Amino acid sequence: MSEDTQAALFSDWVRQHGGAVLKVARAYTRTPEDRQDLVQEILFQVWRSLPQFRSEAAVPTWCYRVALNTALNWRRSEKRRSNGRTPRIDAELLTGTGPDSSMQAADRELVERLDDAIRTLPVTDAALVLLSLEGLSYQQMSEVVGISESNVGVKLHRARQALGEQLGGRRELHEP
């Protein structure tokens, strides 16, 4: 694959799947700085792995797999990097003004609580919740995570129950 072809594919994939990369990074990091670092690492791994892509999996599935594997490696090394650091206040939380700002703050608080709860799940369960939030089918999730579709259903159901319990029994986390 020529470098121009690789660059064009990479740009296209980032435009199409950049939001998913950001969601994965948000679920596996605690601070905006770490989130940015993880996004950069994921994108670097996508770029580096692009020449090995053989179209055996769908592009979104492949991108998720690279993002999740990179995030999991990031999480494993988080203790070495943190050295007791505590998260700082996210500047995004301080920017709201006007009549909708209290609603936006409440939404951000719920998202942060959900992110914190997802981080407490076992690795595979957290990955499945993220993939579910992205709207992937059980088949696509099974390809990304490497387990059977029926196992995806069981693990996802249990993960949703655990999240619901952690968030005070919120019904919207359970399957319809």
**62-79 residue pLDDT tens:** 888 888 889 888 877 765
In this prediction the pTM is 0.60
Q: Provide the domain limits for residue 154.
A: 99-171
Burial label for 98, CB within 10 Å (0-12, 13-18, 19+), is exposed
CATH code of the domain covering residue 67: 1.10.1740.10
Is residue 158 assigned to a domain?
Answer: yes
User: Which of 136, 168, 164, 142 shows the shortest CA–CA distance to 155?
Assistant: 142
CATH code of the domain covering residue 116: 1.10.10.10
Is residue 118 assigned to a domain?
Answer: yes
58 in the same domain as 130: no
For residue range 116-162, list pLDDT tens digits in order: 888 888 888 888 888 888 788 898 888 888 889 999 999 999 999 99
76 in the same domain as 24: yes
**Angle (CA) 57 61 66, round 5°:** 105
70 in the same domain as 104: no
